[in-house]
Chains A and B, each alone.
Chain A
Amino acid sequence: MIRRLLSVLHARNLEFLRDRGTLVFTLLLPVTLVIGMGFVFGGPERPLFKVGVLAGRLDGQAHPFLHERYVAFITLADDGAALRKVTHQQVDLLLDLRPPERYWVNTDSPKGYIVEKLLLAAEPAAVREPVTGAAVRYVDWLFPGILGMNMMFSCLFGVGYVVLRYRKSGFLKRLHATPLTAFEFLSAQVLSRLGLILLVTTILYAGIGTLIGFHNAGNLLLLALVGVVGALSMIALGLTIAARFSSEELVGGLLNVLTWPMMLLSGIWFSLEGSPRWVQWVAHAFPLTHVLDAARAVMLDGAGLPQIAPNLLYLAATALAFLAFGAWSFRWRIE
């Protein structure tokens, strides 16, 4: 069994590595995106203070600070998420207008220092809650999203179209005439794609991380585990689409139906905090959402295994479910 699996795995790896166009595209797209995003968002901050406000309603009469010029006030609903924003310096100060009026300021943030002076001049009774934490630039936050997006496309389209091409060309039918089983064939495809994705993602992580000066706050091995389990889940999802169908249009359409909502709702580009609850439910059905949540928790917050265990369990469970469904519905030949 291992010998047969390794034969198919080796041949598939050779095929991928010799397909220069696909290989270059796989590497070039995320590099271009990250450099572009870094250029757009990584420059000097705009001269605007951002203050997060925890309150049902911004009452300018009761709180004169809310009239300050050059300060943007952003209403936040989730206390924990709001506090993380201060820690990461994504807002310069967090104000809780619910009595007793309190505010959180990051003592490592120069802008926080200035906004605090403005606040105390307007509302001297506010209670101070100091926090610390290095700034997280948008490009730092985006970085895991770009890696995850590249992984998603590679998993879904890479595996989906390859299996479809094999079926349409009759190569699968020829393999079916050998002792190779569907499970061995699918496992070889999964392992081949997993290895290539990890290789490409490692290169991107090291290359782009150096380029934008990214610092991982968490454990690198834990991050690799997120990558492995996440890639397995998405490769298996791609296999469920490619397991049965023979029409390129249908498979292409189904893959697009999967990738576009994930592109928009999995939190690649922006956080879903504050979005309607149903949107968040939908988003949390996607494997990519769990990959990004776990990766950002490790990379930005230094989270450990217990914090990301629910994400890992979800990804592992979906990987198994998708693989089982893919193997069950697999067809060697065009019906």
Chain B
Amino acid sequence: MSTPILEVRELVKQYPATLAVAGVSFSVPEGVCFGLLGPNGAGKTTTIEIMEGILPPSAGAVCYRGEPLGNRFRQEAGILFQKTALQDFLTVRQCIALFRGLYTTGLEVDEVMRLCALEKLAGRDARKLSGGQQQRLLLAIALVNDPAVLFLDEPTTGLDPQARRNFWELVQSIKARRKTIILTTHYMEEAELLCDEIVIMDRGRIIAQGPPRRLLHEHFAEVLLELPRQEFPPAARTLPLNIIDASDRVEISTHDLEATLRTLLEAKVPLTNLRIRPANLEDLFLELTGTELRP
């Protein structure tokens, strides 16, 4: 078996009042999109920042191609932080050129701009970009050294749905170039679309790990029925069903759809707004933690 491109071993990050990461271990094979999922405060940003070499761990280690993080890693890693400001008064092209100058090898500035659809914005002041354009610029900067491994820390947070979808298309085109991508997100749709493997974290620990489809298959053989909470009569809660409370809805997990529907009809539960769907990663999180994702 080949050496994983990144290996995290017994990682711990202890702050004075908080244990942010409580001993996590996992490996990232080369060429996959690897997702770190979890709610805010789960420890995923701390974990990814230790993996990026930005934060020192309290204990444990991160290895890149079997060696501790060093110069080679800095030359071969591309990073998009959750929040990044750039220098004032620089154009899009100049921002990219600045970072290109920090690496010995990489892509040409024009090529990076083309990859991230920034050609028409080349001469624009970087401060005057929209949210989606700004993220594309930051992605371009992360790609400027033609990285072997690309870290994307909540890259679509705060973007409108269209900008988010455009960004996903960009990430998919990067995946197609066989780059390894480490992605943190709390958008389950994003993880399902992009990630080949995921780790779900909560309170600094890993609570599930593996390919999304396998995890869903392992935890859910059922389908889910969703009903608006206000249309679900309190008396129906005593029915012999597997009922899960979500924020604005009630979910019923079942192996036997017909029998469950019959039970609900007999109890005169209104089914006008009933929705039936397969389980997703958010359901998996609820299943594993008993709490809804905290955005």
Interface residues of chain A, those whose CB is within 8 Å of chain B, are 3-4, 6-8, 10-12, 14-15, 18-19, 166, 169-171, 173-180, 333
Contacts and interface: CB of A to CB of B under 8 A. Distances in A.
B97 interface: yes
B71 interface: yes
Closest 10 CB pairs of A and B: A7-B101, A169-B85, A18-B89, A11-B98, A178-B102, A177-B79, A179-B74, A15-B89, A174-B84, A4-B102
Contacts of A174: 79, 81, 84-86, 141
A169 B94 CA distance: 18
B81 A170 contact: yes
Nearest to B79: A177
B147 to A, nearest CB: 11
Interface residues of B, number: 27
Contacts of B26: none
Question: For B71, B79, B98, which residue has the most chain A Cβ atoms within 10 angstroms?
Answer: B98
Contacts of A176: 54
Contacts of A179: 71, 74-75, 102-104
A178 B54 contact: no
Contacts of B94: 11, 14
A166 B103 CA distance: 20
Nearest to A19: B89
B200 interface: no
Contacts of A8: 98, 101-102
Given A14-B94, A18-B89, A177 B83 contact: no
Contacts of B102: 4, 7-8, 175, 178-180
Contacts of B83: 170
B53 interface: yes
A15 B95 CA distance: 11
Main secondary structure of the interface of B (DSSP, over half): loop
Given A8-B102, A11-B94, A178-B102, 6 more contacts: A3-B104, A7-B102, A8-B101, A11-B90, A19-B88, A180-B102
Given A4-B102, A7-B98, A178 B90 contact: no
Contacts of B139: none
Contacts of B81: 170, 173-174, 177
Contacts of A170: 81, 83-85
B7 interface: no
Interface of B: 52-54, 71, 74-75, 77, 79, 81, 83-90, 94, 97-104, 141
B77 A177 contact: yes
Nearest to B101: A7
Contacts of B90: 11, 14-15
B54 A333 contact: yes
Nearest to A3: B101
Contacts, number: 72
B143 to A, nearest CB: 13
Given A177-B53, A179-B102, A171 B84 contact: yes
A176 B84 CA distance: 12
A8 B94 CA distance: 11
B74 A178 contact: yes
A177 B85 contact: no
Contacts of B71: 179
B50 to A, nearest CB: 13
Given A7-B101, A177-B52, A177-B74, A15 B85 contact: no
A15 B94 CA distance: 11
A177 B99 CA distance: 11
A319 B75 CA distance: 32
Contact of A173 (B54, B74, B103, B104): B54
A6 B101 CA distance: 8
B146 to A, nearest CB: 14
Residue with the highest number of chain B CB atoms closer than 10 Å, among A10, A12, A173: A173
B235 to A, nearest CB: 54
A177 B103 CA distance: 11
A22 to B, nearest CB: 10
A44 to B, nearest CB: 47
Contacts of B54: 173, 176-177, 333
Contacts of A333: 54
A55 B79 CA distance: 74
13 contacts: A4-B101, A7-B99, A11-B98, A15-B88, A19-B88, A171-B85, A171-B86, A171-B87, A173-B54, A174-B84, A177-B79, A178-B99, A179-B103
A174 B101 CA distance: 14
* Residue among A6, A177, A333 with most chain B CB within 10 A: A177
B201 to A, nearest CB: 22
Contacts of A19: 88-89
Contacts of A180: 102
Contacts of B52: 177
A11 B99 CA distance: 10
Contacts of A12: 87
A18 B89 CA distance: 6
Contacts of B89: 14-15, 18-19
A178 B103 contact: yes
B242 to A, nearest CB: 45
Contacts of A11: 87, 90, 94, 98
A179 B147 CA distance: 13
A10 B104 CA distance: 17
Contacts of A18: 88-89
A10 B102 CA distance: 12
A171 B83 CA distance: 9
A64 B275 CA distance: 115
Contact of B97 (A7, A169, A177): A7
B64 to A, nearest CB: 13
